[in-house]
Structures are given as C-alpha cells and as structure tokens.
Amino acid sequence: MLSLSTPAHPKAFGRIAIVGKYQADGIEDRLRELAKLAIGEGCEVFLEAATAANTPITDYPHKKIEDFAGSIDLAIVLGGDGTMLGIGRQLAGSQVPLVGVNMGRLGYMTDIPIQDVQTILRQIIAGEYEADERTLLDAVVLRNGTEINRALALNDVVVNRSGISGMVELAVKVNGSFMYNQRSDGLIVSTPTGSTAYALSAGGPILHPRVAGILLVPIAPHALSNRPIVLPQDAKTSIEVISGREVIVNFDMQSLTHLQIGDRIEVRQSDKTITLLHPRGHSDYKTLREKLHWNEYPSTF
C-alpha cells in the first residue's frame, strides 16, 4: 500500500494551490478531499489565502493569488464558472494553469464533476490533460480624456442601462472608424469564452474558444438591423455614451463603473491569457450539448 507521501506515478505539477467558492455548502469537506488527493500524488499543497480565511481549515499553508506566479504550478478552482472568472482575471498572464472542478451543475470552464475528481485530477497531475488557452479583454474607461478605471474581462465588457431607466444611445467606433450610433438597452463586447454567457442570451452566435475574434452584441436594439458582428482579434472598439440615464459598464458582471454622458470605453484584446486544463478527450461540443440540451444522436452515429 502506498503512503500519502508516495506518488502513484510521476507528476507534472508539484506545487498546487486550491481555490474554493467558500460560500458554498459543504465546501470544507470538498477542499479537504482535494488537498488529500493532491498530497497523495506527492504534491505540495497550499490554500488560497481568501479561501483559507473563510474556512476553518488550518492544515495547509496559505498563499495569496498575487503570489502564485513562480511559486505555484497548478491552481485547482472548486466552484462554478463565476468563481473561475474571478480567479482567471487575477491569474491572467501569470503562466499558472487552472483546473475547474464544479460542485453542482456542469460549467463551461469548471468542467470536472466533483464525483469524477478522484480519477481525473490524478491524471491531470500526472500530465495527462489537454491545454486550452483563453483570451481576455482589456477595457479602459475614460472621462474627459482621463482614465478613471481599467479592468480585464474573461467573458465580456457590457455597457448597459439600469433596470429602471430608458434606452441608452452609444456611438461605436472600431479602429477609429465610425460604425454606428445605436439606441438599445446596451452593448456586449465578448471574448469567445463569453459567447456562451450574456452574449448568447442576447442573440449572439457561439464562438469556438479557438476562434481569434471579438464579438459585439447589441442588447434589445431599437433598430432590428443592428446585428451581432465578429471583429478581428486586433480590433480596438470605442464606445461613447451619447445619452441615457444610469448607464453602467460591467466587467464579467463582477465589477462595474457608473458612467456619465461623454464617457468613453475602449476595449481591445489583452496581451494576457489564461490556460485551462481539461481531461484527455475533452470535447467543447459535448459540453455545449449537455449545457444547452441539444438533441443527441445515437451512440452508433
């Protein structure tokens, strides 16, 4: 019988950090389970500092996310896609790959079911995985030419009205070329990753994660001729608020800035990326089929 300190096979990742959605029910037991598994594979285990501060687990050393680069080989994210979005933005450009373990419904990015983690995580730690690089957006909010906020987005940058105000009017330019003045409930600028999020519910197309493009999707436009469009990856989109009350810009729906008339948001693809690790045999189409409840052909197809 192997001891916990003796790995069952060679490992690709020696230093592992575990990040958890600490508000979730049963998170403590799940975190302990993951830590025990990683230690059993011969890994050094750390708990992300906020996760540790919000759980009673004291068995493992803590490490802040900003200190992962150069000291962590793999980050395991336990939660849902929202948790992965927040961690992904913070680790963008750090060269620390991420593995997503979901505790409930299958996620697009957190695609390892908790009931399968014992088998799949061992395989990934041993180097049996598929790597998936994802792009982010870099957004700058300008007021009178002065930067008042800057943020990354893994899913999308959304300029929209509040729930109680009327339409907003936005002037949109791409690479300095005027595209249109749009009256609508707002505008979504999305990565391929975000094409299955808010952009999808607003009528946008699904982009495969390897598509090198940026998606613009109007939200309930006044003119039905305002359609979603896929821009090249080097496009710089400028969005100016022409009119409207209580206009905001959201970044992955996790942070926001309140806007004024004349404010401008400039969005481009970031030079930072993240890398997601999936089990061998991972299929984006299988994930879409299961999430969107597409009809399945018989297994003999």
CA 52 from chain center: how many Å? 22
Which residue among 59, 67, 81, 234 is the active-site one?
Answer: 81
Strand locations in 49-86 (E) = 62-63, 74-79
Question: Tens of pLDDT along the chain (301 residues)?
Answer: 333 444 445 689 999 999 999 888 889 999 999 999 999 999 999 999 999 999 999 999 999 999 999 999 999 999 999 999 999 999 999 999 999 999 877 678 888 998 999 999 999 999 999 999 999 999 999 999 999 999 999 999 999 987 777 899 999 999 999 999 999 999 999 999 999 999 999 999 999 999 999 999 999 999 888 999 999 999 999 999 999 999 999 999 999 999 999 999 999 999 999 999 999 988 888 888 888 888 766 555 5
Rounded Cα distance between 234 and 213, Å, is 8
State the DSSP code for 66. Answer: G
End-to-end CA distance of the chain: 43
Whole-model pTM?
Answer: 0.91
Q: Which domains does the chain have, with CATH numbers?
A: 15-129+279-292 (3.40.50.10330), 136-271 (2.60.200.30)
* Catalytic residue list contains 263: no
Query: Taking a C-beta distance cutoff of 8 angstroms, is the pair 178, 194 a contact?
Result: no
